[in-house]
């Protein structure tokens, strides 16, 4: 469990990145900090491993004030994954993953064996172990970054916009991988993003921030979506624009979900079943409409967040 107690961070130039921030991040759950640039989300994340020290207030991990801990030792016990992987360019993939365990005194041979297993865990082929980071694709580099974050078997995993720099298809793939890993490993994940859809997909607890590290709303994705605390939150999640209010429209090609702007958002799971809300309107021959026809719409919009009550 990570606890922020009225934490404030004022940078030397006078900018207040975070102001009186208090929050409990439950163990073995994913907490997503989401906000635009300047919302202090990265600063908050970096305070957990003391890359940034608060100006006032305190942060506790399982009841211990991290201000009293030695930063280097603290960081070695916390996984850290950043945008653009941050891998050491002059070290092979396997050595990048084994770096921190070896610093902590684990013998080289054991560290390398475990690093190979971690490549399996994050879904990378072992043949990539002897490549250098520059020889990998962006998505592969991010997977190595996650493997390195997991290398010391930390309880806490900090992820700073880890999927921000990869293309949408790879990002969706990595998001699913993270969900799978989290089901298997049950880490306390703190995830920073500016993408609300990503936040709703990955977060057990989502924290929406306004400028200056002020909490706009905390809750599960369903709570936030169903009851936005104010106009700011409603705008941020897209509820005010009707992006999240979907209705079913029948076409000759099949039934599709459409948002309030008229943008196609997706299809109902299970195809165009007549038992669905608007199914009665559907002509009998449309019942047999092959799912293939609905296929092209399946990837557009944000169906999982809009339709799934979670």
Partner 1 sequence: MNFFADAVAWLFDPTNYVGSNAIGIRVLEHLGFTLLTLVFASVIAIPLGFFIGHTGRGRGLAVGTAGAFRSIPTLGLLTLVALSVGIGLTAPYAALTVLAIPPILAGAYTGFEAIDRATIDAARAVGMSEGQIVRKVELPLSLPLLMGGLRSATLQIVATATLAAYVADIGLGRFLFTGLKNLDYAQMLGGSILVILLALLLEGIFTVLQKLVVPRGVAAGRPTDIWAGFTKLAR
Residues paired with 189 in a beta bridge:
30, 157
CB of 105 to partner 1, least distance (A): 12
| Position 89 contacts partner 1 (CB under 8 A) | yes
Region 147-166 residues binding partner 1, contact defined as CB under 8 A: 148-149
The residue range among 3-11, 126-134, 168-176, 283-291 that interacts with partner 1, by the rule CB under 8 A, is 126-134
Among 14, 37, 68, 72, binds partner 1 (CB under 8 A): 72
Which DSSP string do the residues of 261-281 spell out, in sequence order? Answer: TS-EEE--TTSS-TTSTTGGG
The Cα–Cα gap between 105 and 117 comes to: 19
Among 92, 171, 187, 243, binds partner 1 (CB under 8 A): 92
Among 49, 140, 193, 217, binds partner 1 (CB under 8 A): 49
The Cα–Cα gap between 155 and 232 comes to: 33
Region 95-114 residues binding partner 1, contact defined as CB under 8 A: 99-100, 103-104
Closest CA to 19 of 44, 48, 1: 44
Residue with tokens 């475990």: 114
Closest CA to 41 of 272, 213, 197, 297: 213
Residues paired with 186 in a beta bridge:
none
- Fill in the DSSP letter of residue 13: T
Q: Which is nearer to partner 1, 149 or 221 (CB)?
A: 149
The residue range among 19-27, 86-94, 109-117, 177-185 that interacts with partner 1, by the rule CB under 8 A, is 86-94
Q: For residue 170, how many other CB atoms are within 10 A of its CB?
A: 17
The residue range among 83-91, 117-125, 255-263, 296-304 that interacts with partner 1, by the rule CB under 8 A, is 83-91
Among 32, 34, 47, 87, binds partner 1 (CB under 8 A): 87
**Rounded to 5 degrees, what are φ and ψ at 103?**
-65, -30
Please say whether the beta carbons of 216 and 227 come within 8 A.
Answer: no
| Position 88 contacts partner 1 (CB under 8 A) | yes
3-state secondary structure of 200: helix
Q: Which is nearer to partner 1, 94 or 289 (CB)?
A: 94
By CB under 8 A, name the binding residues for partner 1: 46, 49, 51, 72-77, 80, 82, 84-92, 99-100, 103-104, 131-135, 148-149
């Amino acid at each position: 469990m990570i606890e922020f107690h009225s934490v404030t961070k004022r940078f030397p130039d006078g900018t207040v990145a975070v102001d009186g921030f208090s929050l409990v991040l439950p163990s073995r759950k994913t907490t997503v900090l989401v906000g635009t640039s300047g919302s202090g989300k990265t600063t908050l994340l970096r305070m957990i491993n003391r890359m940034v020290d608060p100006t006032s207030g305190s942060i506790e991990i399982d009841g211990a004030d991290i201000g009293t801990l030695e930063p280097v030792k603290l960081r070695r016990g916390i996984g850290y994954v950043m945008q653009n992987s941050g891998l050491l360019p002059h070290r092979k993939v396997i050595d990048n993953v084994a770096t921190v365990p070896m610093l902590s005194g684990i013998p080289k041979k054991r560290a390398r064996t475990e690093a190979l297993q971690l490549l399996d865990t994050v879904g990378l082929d072992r043949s990539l172990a002897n490549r250098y980071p520059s020889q990998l694709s962006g998505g592969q580099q991010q997977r190595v970054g996650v493997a390195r974050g997991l290398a010391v078997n930390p309880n806490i995993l900090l992820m700073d916009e880890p999927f921000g720099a990869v293309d949408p298809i790879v990002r969706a793939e990595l998001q699913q991988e993270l969900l799978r890993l989290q089901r298997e490993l049950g880490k306390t994940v703190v995830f920073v993003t500016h993408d609300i859809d990503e936040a709703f997909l990955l977060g057990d607890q989502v924290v929406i921030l306004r400028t200056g590290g002020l909490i706009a709303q905390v809750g599960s994705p369903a709570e936030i979506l169903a009851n936005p605390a104010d106009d700011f939150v409603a705008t941020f999640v897209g509820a005010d624009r009707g992006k999240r209010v979907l209705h079913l429209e029948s076409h000759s090609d099949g039934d599709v979900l459409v948002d309030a702007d008229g943008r196609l958002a997706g299809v109902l799971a299970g195809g165009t079943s007549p038992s669905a809300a608007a199914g009665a309107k559907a002509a009998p021959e449309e019942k047999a409409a092959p799912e293939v026809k609905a296929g092209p719409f399946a990837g557009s919009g944000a169906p999982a967040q809009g339709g799934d009550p979670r």
